[in-house]
């Protein structure tokens, strides 16, 4: 899709998001599901790059269960979906997904050979998944209660996105990756660290212990934490560049207070997809008397599937996302079922990048990061089997 159409799409989405989510962290009368809701790394360094046709060492054996895979030839120059979810609830809209359909999404992706990876893994070229599978990035904005909640007995509420994810992973061990959770640390309830009660309702010590427990669960289970500004601030509305940097930097500080000291937040999601007046401010800046932040990945609010990180067109500072609106994911999966030409298919070896000869012009060898390129013959026309 031409860039100008993406621009128009993002502007329209931003307006819709503003209308639907208001402040995105303090919506009243929300249909959010939570509590007792009823709706139901591998080696990336490898050997030095070798010339095409040179003998390759055998791919490492899978580390664990493989699960369903696509019967397709490798194409690691194919595209990767970065899915975007917000709230759970009913009725469904562009930014609301029923929990039942979220669970169906997990099942449909798994059965077709998709496996979750984080943005950090994509950035670090650590896409270590079985042969015949496709990486997919799940992103979750706004940290609402319907995404993650602990019940009074300390267990994860099964009627949340995290609860559904954990249950699905337990039933399907090959679903081994994690998602990217974009947090608003100072938003109004229920978007304050996944529905934490206001300070007056819960002693500060208990509230902070609850937040830390959630962050510990994410880190321990292979998920990634993402900054979404302090309180879902419209960066384009900042009075000056410094205020925009404060909203980003202080937001990061407020999240990192509950993470391990060495945890580096590399991903930032633009609220409403709106850029600050000075675009580079979203990538790096200073705040609080010279403290610095750096966002190596910046998530847009809309767009289509992305090229991989070794493609010459890859720009981590502007990563498109695929909003899981009613029928949208189903339609995209059907398109790739019918014609998988542009779908990323892993060769199963994290040390190599395998691609059909027709994609050679898009490979940027300077972005391989030590991985070995493997050029393969193009598949015969019409010979690609169904996934």
- Residue 5 neighbours by CB distance under 10 Å: 10
Judge whether 86 lies within some domain: yes
Judge whether 130 lies within some domain: yes
Q: Among residues 325, 259, 323, 314, which one has the least CA distance to residue 76?
A: 314
What 8-state DSSP symbol labels residue 330?
H
* pLDDT number for residue 161: 98
User: Domain range for residue 327?
Assistant: 3-25+81-340
Q: Among residues 26, 380, 375, which one has the least CA distance to residue 186?
A: 26
Judge whether 377 lies within some domain: no
CA distance 352 to 170: 30
| Residue in this structure with the two tokens 């830390």, named with its chain if needed | 212
* pLDDT number for residue 65: 86
Q: Where are the alpha helices (DSSP H) in the chain?
A: 3-21, 99-111, 119-123, 161-171, 204-220, 241-256, 328-338
What 8-state DSSP symbol labels residue 156?
B
Judge whether 198 lies within some domain: yes
CA distance 207 to 209: 5
User: Which distant-in-sequence residues (6+ apart) come within 8 Å of 360 by Cβ?
Assistant: 375
Q: Which residues pair with 374 in a beta bridge?
A: 354
Judge whether 385 lies within some domain: no
Judge whether 250 lies within some domain: yes
- Kindly provide the b/e burial profile for residues 26-42, where b requires at least 16 CB atoms within 10 angstroms of the residue's own CB: bbeebbbbbeebebeee
Look up the CATH number of the domain holding residue 236. Answer: 3.20.20.370
Question: Could you write out the DSSP letters of every residue in 128-143?
Answer: ---TT-EEEEEEEES-
Helix (H) or strand (E) holding 376: strand 372-376
Number of domains in the chain: 1
The packing angle between helices 99-111 and 328-338, to 10°, is 10
Q: What is the pLDDT along the chain (387 residues), one digit of tens a residue?
A: 433 333 434 444 444 444 444 334 333 333 444 333 333 333 333 333 334 444 455 667 767 789 999 999 999 999 999 999 999 999 999 999 999 999 999 999 999 999 999 999 999 999 999 999 999 999 999 999 999 999 999 999 999 999 999 999 999 999 999 999 999 998 877 777 898 776 677 888 888 999 999 999 999 999 999 999 999 999 999 999 999 999 999 999 999 999 999 999 999 999 999 999 999 999 999 999 899 999 999 999 999 999 999 999 999 999 999 999 999 999 999 999 999 999 999 999 999 999 999 999 999 999 999 999 999 999 876 554 443
Q: How far is CA 376 from CA 115, 283, 383, in A?
A: 23, 36, 15
Q: What share of the chain is helix, strand, coil (3-state, %, to 5)?
A: 30, 15, 55
Judge whether 277 lies within some domain: yes
> pTM to 2 decimals?
0.86
> How far apart, in Å, do the first and last CA atoms of the chain sit?
25
Judge whether 386 lies within some domain: no
* pLDDT number for residue 69: 98
- Judged by DSSP in three states, 150 sits in strand
């Amino acid at each position: 899709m031409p860039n100008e159409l993406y621009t128009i799409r993002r502007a329209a989405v931003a307006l819709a998001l503003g209308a639907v989510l208001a402040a995105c962290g303090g919506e009243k009368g929300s249909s959010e599901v939570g509590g007792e809701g009823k709706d139901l790394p591998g080696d990336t360094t490898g050997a030095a790059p070798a010339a095409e046709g040179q003998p390759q060492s055998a791919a490492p054996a899978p580390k664990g269960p493989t699960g369903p895979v696509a019967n397709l030839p490798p194409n690691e120059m194919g595209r990767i979906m970065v899915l975007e979810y917000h709230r759970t609830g009913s009725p469904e809209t562009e930014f609301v997904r029923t929990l039942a359909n979220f669970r169906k999404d997990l099942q449909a992706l798994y059965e077709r050979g998709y496996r979750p990876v984080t943005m950090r893994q994509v950035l670090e070229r650590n896409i270590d998944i079985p042969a015949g599978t496709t990486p997919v990035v799940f992103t979750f904005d706004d940290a609402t209660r319907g995404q993650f909640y602990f019940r009074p007995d300390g267990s994860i509420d099964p009627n949340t996105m995290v609860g559904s994810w954990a249950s699905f992973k337990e039933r399907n061990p090959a679903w081994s990756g994690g998602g990217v959770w974009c947090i608003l640390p100072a938003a109004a309830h229920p978007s304050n660290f996944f529905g934490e009660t206001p300070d007056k309702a819960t002693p500060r010590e208990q509230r902070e212990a609850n937040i830390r427990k959630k962050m510990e669960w994410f880190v321990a289970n292979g998920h990634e934490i993402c900054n979404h500004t302090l309180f879902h601030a419209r960066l384009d509305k900042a009075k000056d560049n410094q205020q925009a940097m404060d909203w980003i930097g202080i937001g990061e500080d407020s999240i990192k207070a509950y993470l391990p000291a060495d945890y580096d937040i590399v991903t930032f999601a633009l609220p409403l997809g709106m850029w600050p007046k000075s675009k580079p401010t979203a990538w790096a800046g200073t705040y609080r008397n010279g403290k610095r932040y750096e966002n190596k990945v910046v998530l847009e609010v809309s767009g289509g599937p992305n090229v991989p990180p070794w493609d010459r067109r890859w720009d981590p500072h502007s990563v498109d996302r695929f909003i899981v609106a009613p029928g949208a994911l189903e339609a995209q999966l059907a398109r790739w079922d019918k014609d998988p030409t542009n779908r990323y298919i892993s060769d199963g070896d994290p040390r190599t990048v395998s691609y059909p000869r027709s994609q050679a012009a898009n490979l940027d060898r300077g972005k391989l990061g030590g991985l070995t390129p493997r050029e393969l013959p193009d598949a015969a026309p019409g010979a690609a089997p169904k996934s």
